[in-house]
Structure 1
Amino acid sequence: MTYRADEDFLNPPVSLTVSPESPRAGSTVTLTGTFTNSTAITLGGTVMYLAAGGARRAIRLGDLRSGTSVTRHWSTTLADDAEGEISFIAHTLFDVHRAGSDCVRAASSVLLPYRSLPGAFDNAGIASDDALTVADIDGSGSSLSAQALASAGLSPGAVVTCDGVDFTWPDTVPGSHDNAVCSGQTVLLSGSGSRLVLLGTSTWGRGAGDGTVAYADGTEQTFSVSVPDWYGANAAAAVVLPYRHTVTGRDGTPVSLFTFGVDLHDKELASLVLPRVSGGLVAGTPALHVFAMTVV
């Protein structure tokens, strides 16, 4: 049967499975792609691409007659330092006639643990006084002032003491990612101590949610946080800044940063699951931002 321009046969199905379903950095994953020619014609020069992160394999399938189904496998090893979201893709390209081609794809992803808190940074919350729009901490264009922070001792890379605890402030430039919006990300930990303390603030209301500390022996500890909104000079704040930025200029109302955390068991640490407060940054929805953390 030949190709007809008025025939609606697009999107022959391609499927993708990944094994294991929850891989780790440095582990081997196997991608299985299945493509079925559900059209009424032969698809020519078919090529299936399987991709994992930045690695890719092209598998030539050739001409596939109507009704043909083909499955291919590909194994690759994730980088030892892989972290965050890793995407897996099965992408199939094929010719429908001499002058035209089409493609279909299937995709999935996994979220690997971040190797450190800065690796989990996904929001720019700090802007310079002379460039207000490069950051957005609340989804509506507001931000912390880099100059106000520096005046309070929170300059890039500085060690600052808040509520008796030493933190290293993010070593970032205004407008770059400098905090993690708490949505259940996993961050690797090491060492041990009596308390895990985080430094951050909440926007659009109180940021409340549950997190988890995992220990090297396989046990876990759940904890809850409830962090006040940043707007105003809060008596419980660890740091109060005299103003903030908005899209229209400087807002002279003070804003507050807070310390919060969890008392630890006396065991070797493995990882932290940040409290699941929101699914990301959305104006009008409470979001909890973490700029630094330390174990004491």
Structure 2
Amino acid sequence: MRHPRHWGTALRTLAAAVTAVVALSPASASAQPASGTPAYTAEAKTEVAISAVDLDGPAISTVQVTVKNAGPDRLRSLKVSFAGPVGWAVQPSSQTVDGTFAAGATARATFRIQVPERRPAFTVRTFTATATYQGGDGLGTATGTRTELSGTPAASLAAAYDNVGITDEADTAPGDYDGEGNSFSAQKLAAAGLTRGGTVNTLGARLTWPDVAPGSKDNVSSSGQAVTLSGSGGKLVFLGSGVGSGATGSATVHYTDGTTTSGTFGFPNWSFDPANAHGATLVASSDGRNRPSGYGNAGIAYRVFAHAIPLDPAKQVSFVVLPANADIHLFDMALAP
């Protein structure tokens, strides 16, 4: 594997050398589509699969896209395109494959992709290939995707805590739940039933209020972190609240069999928004909040909510990728029937 110092020169060299690699075989041959997630069209049930991508960058990696005609009619005018994450250069971005392909035949096209240096944090990389062609029923399109994982998810949500949202009224300075130095009052939360390490039962889940001292990191400002979670259930319940009125996003649950489920949820602003905004459920309201100068805003409710996304109850959860929206703050998450 090459590690060129100048990507532009390397890619120009590769562009001059890369050509479509096409291999046709009958359905009974040993050649099979490369690993990846096939996509099908109603016209010809064309399968598109992407080979494993070597993420050990910085380097130029070779990727093979396999297109299989799984339908009864011949395919022709085949064009294959390939793309990786935003900013990753591909040579060529698309290839035209000459010839016609009988039922059961496969075509393979080779691409080169610029892989940057690995990030230390957990990262999900998605690659997409699309085939367009003429088939028995006219123009057809099929798309295949492949997800590659880099790094290790956090051991738990608590291990990913990166924000101080609860402080003692005698020491409010460490708090910064909303980006303006404000935070929940530990005393007022306790009066509302949320105590350190206490159980929170909501939406069928048994959750735990953060078991850390006031003034410590006690929640996750959601920005796409991956968090280990084991077990199974019909839904995943989140405990938290929002900053601003746009605290919504999509979480992706990865199962042990390699499949995923995605679901969108949201929280109201910790104050002022309607309590049922974004479909959330109110868990507790505390009186006032801690400001940098001390406790204040008495008489105004600062709240904690719950929300859930559906899961496949027949599958075992491996980890969760949180929404990429830092306005969503999470204190805990748990599986529920």
* TM bracket (short chain): 0.5 to 0.7
Letter in 2 for 1:212: T
| Alpha carbons of structure 1 residues 143 and 111: separation in structure 2 relative to 1, 3 Å | farther
Are 2:311 and 1:269 equivalent residues in the alignment?
A: no
Structure 2 residue aligned with 1:117, among 157, 178, 192? 157
Q: Identify the residue that residue 101 of structure 1 maps to in structure 2.
A: none
Structure-2 change in CA distance of 1:213 and 1:163 (3 Å):
closer
Output the CA distance in 1 between the equivalents of 2:275 and 2:122.
38
Question: Which of 255, 264, 270 is matched with 2:302 structurally?
Answer: 255
**Equivalent residues, number:** 194
Q: What pairs up with 1:33-112 in 2 under 5 angstroms?
A: 112=152
CA contact (8 A) 1:162 1:239 kept: no
Unpaired runs of at least 5, structure 1:
1-13, 22-28, 33-82, 87-109, 279-286
Q: CA deviation at 1:167?
A: 1.2
Q: Secondary structure at the match of 2:231?
A: coil
- Measure the CA separation in 2 of the matches of 1:157 and 1:199: 14
Q: Percent identity?
A: 35
Unaligned 5+ residue runs, structure 2?
Answer: 7-52, 60-119, 124-149, 277-281
Distance in 1 separating the partners of 2:285 and 2:202: 11
Q: Give 4+ residue runs of structure 1 displaced > 3 Å after superposition.
A: 29-32, 83-86, 162-165, 232-236
- Give TM-score scaled by structure 1 length: 0.59
Structure 1 residues 185, 164: closer, same or farther in 2, change over 3 A? Answer: same
> In 2 relative to 1, CA 172–84 (structure 1 residues): closer, same or farther, beyond 3 Å?
farther
Q: Which residue of 2 aligns with 1:244?
A: 289
Contact 1:233 1:256 in 2 (8 A): no
Q: Tell me the equivalent position of 2:186.
A: 146
Query: What amino acid sits opposite 2:297 in the alignment?
Result: D
Match of 1:229 in 2: 269
Counterparts in 2 of 1:243 and 1:162: CA distance versus 1, 3 Å: farther
SS of 1:178's equivalent?
Answer: coil
Q: Secondary structure at the match of 2:187?
A: helix
Please give the alpha-carbon distance, in whole angstroms, between the structure 2 residues aligned to 1:111 and 1:202: 28
Amino acid at match of 1:222: S
Cα offset for 1:111? 5.4
> Using a 3 Å threshold, how does the CA distance of structure 1 residues 271 and 161 change in structure 2: closer, same or farther?
same
Displacement of 1:234 = 4.3
Name the residue aligned to 1:133: 173
Determine if the alignment matches structure 1 residue 180 to structure 2 residue 224. no
Q: CA separation of 1:206/1:239 partners in 2, compared to 1, >3 Å: closer, same or farther?
A: farther
Report the CA distance between 1:254 and its aligned residue. 0.9
Residue 240 of structure 1 aligns with an amino acid whose one-letter code is S
What is the Cα-based RMSD across aligned positions, in Å? 2.8
- Read off the aligned partner of 1:276 and give its amino acid letter: A
